[in-house]
Amino acid sequence: MLYPMHLEKGDRIGVIAPAGPPDLENTSKAISFFQAMGLQVKFSEHLNRIHGYLAGTDEERLMDFHEMIADRSIKALFCARGGYGTARITPYLDFELIKQNPKIIWGYSDITYLHTAIRQETGLITFHGPMLSSDISKNNFDSLSGSLFKQLFEPTILTYSETVSPLKVVTEGVAEGQLVGGNLSLIVSSIGTPYELDVKDKLLLIEDIGEEPYKIDGMLNQLKLAGKLADAAGIVVGDFADAESKLPSSLTIEQVFHHYFAELTIPVISGFKIGHCLPHFSVPLGAKAKLSTNDKTLVIQPGVM
């Protein structure tokens, strides 16, 4: 794996919008959060562009990403929001440029597509964590979520236990491997593409928002038929926000999880506050981790050097 260098006070970070257009007022509000950590903030050139449901054209978003990667004064890239659009620019990413300039890349949701492609093409560890416009700027952004940014300043072993949130063992066991995945919808959309998520002997993280149980059922069924559930060493079930069914009759999301996971011979634990939620427990994707149902813990090795 390729580890990005840790941050130090005084470092300059870049803010990009590789997917949907961010709320610029909210994005600007989040600057003070980074300044309080001693960081300088630079917005990408086209951050204020809107092209339908995209934050500028594909060319503009791609240009901003490459410019931030190439700029040696920028030590980390933070995404302003998710939405939709990263899959459109992924085939045109300069992976060699990224590999030569390994920086912290932070975001989640639609950014899952970037996380997967960049890690699998370059080996770079990236970070699944809250973003400026959609999370950090909110009045209810909590101290735990904020404290997880400290892992960027020095190599830190993260331990998620029931001190963070109640956890439910779906299937028992202990497994170790790289932590990969992210947003379930984006994982499924990668199947059959050059950037299909490799889960072989890895811990698969899944989360999503606004998907009813029958849709989650369909996505998990696709993962099952594609061999992804059987290939994984373990499954970390993150937050599934706003998953209530609008149908007159429906399975619960817990019943859906049980159907797909209960017969697996790998550890599966649900209830992790990772995803479209607060607190949002930020994690390095690609880092080595251990999932254990013995003490209901997920222990993750550092994501920076």
Q: E strands, the chain, where?
A: 12-16, 40-43, 74-79, 104-107, 126-128, 158-160, 168-171, 174-183, 203-209, 234-241, 268-270, 283-285, 288-292, 297-300
The answer to whether 276 is a known catalytic residue is yes
Residue-level pLDDT at 297? 98
User: Which domains can be identified in the chain, with CATH numbers?
Assistant: 12-144 (3.40.50.10740), 158-300 (3.50.30.60)
Q: How distant, in Å, are the alpha carbons of 14, 47, 55, 78, 86 from that of 59?
A: 18, 13, 11, 19, 12
The catalytically annotated residue of 6, 46, 109, 185 is 109
Q: Residues 129-145: what's their mean pLDDT?
A: 95
Residue-level pLDDT at 49? 97
Per-residue pLDDT band at 196 (split at 50, 70, 90): very high
The answer to whether 185 is a known catalytic residue is no
Q: Residues 145-168: what's their mean pLDDT?
A: 98
Is-above-0.75 flag for pTM?
yes
The catalytically annotated residue of 6, 134, 207, 270 is 207
Q: Residues 28-43: what's their mean pLDDT?
A: 97
Q: Residues 2-27: what's their mean pLDDT?
A: 97
The answer to whether 207 is a known catalytic residue is yes
* pLDDT tens, residue by residue, 211-250: 999 999 999 999 999 999 999 999 999 999 998 998 999 9
Residue-level pLDDT at 206? 98
The catalytically annotated residue of 6, 46, 115, 276 is 276
